[in-house]
Structure 1
Amino acid sequence: MATVKVGDTQLKYTKWQLTHIDGKLVGSNPVSIEFIEAMQVAGNGGCNRFFGEGVVSNSALTVSHMGMTRKLCDENTNQQEQMLLNMLKRGVPILMIENSLILKGQPELRFQVAG
């Protein structure tokens, strides 16, 4: 498998759907992330939509100036969503292998290209 060094150019205008958490298949899941004009990041954390300004530096993705909707969901969904958002705010090592985008955090999140 070819691993691609990830930068703004590789991410711009792409959309990804969460498929695995720490190697476990998640099945039908609304969690997604997309990269639009000028590295603006938007997505669904599982319950709420989020958005912010992304930057890739030293193969790590950090999202700043993050905002989100405020719907109330079940506890598991809220915890998963908060874990993803915290990971993006702190900065997380990122890999692109074939049609997968991998956030190398705790836990590791694997996304597939979304249509």
Structure 2
Amino acid sequence: MQLKFSVEDGCLIVEMHGELDHHSAEGARIKIDNKIEELGINKLIFDFSGVNFMDSSGIGVIIGRYKKLKDYDGKVAVVNLKPQIKKIFELSGLFKILNEFKNTKEALLNL
């Protein structure tokens, strides 16, 4: 799992590439948490355009970051979900706690 970080309009954007699974979830979590703390940001966009597989460990990464930012009145969004990844979000109920947008630009306008 490769992560690329950028900041736009006070929002941390995490572009992910590869598989978000039990092999990569812990490393991704640590890197994302470190960046959130380093920047003091409470808005986060996960860009899934480069993710081709996600398992329950990936769900845990998303939920954990949601809980972390919720404590600081923060918001989390996801963008560019492929159909198979979107299905995982739907089945796991993640859309009850966070929003999906078509792209980063749309997410930035709505967070």
Fold match by TM threshold 0.5:
no
Q: Which has the higher contact order (CA 8 A, sep 6+)?
A: 1
The structure in which a higher percent of residues are strand is 1
TM-score w.r.t. length of structure 1: 0.29
TM-score w.r.t. length of structure 2: 0.30
Tell which structure's C-alpha radius of gyration is larger.
Answer: 1
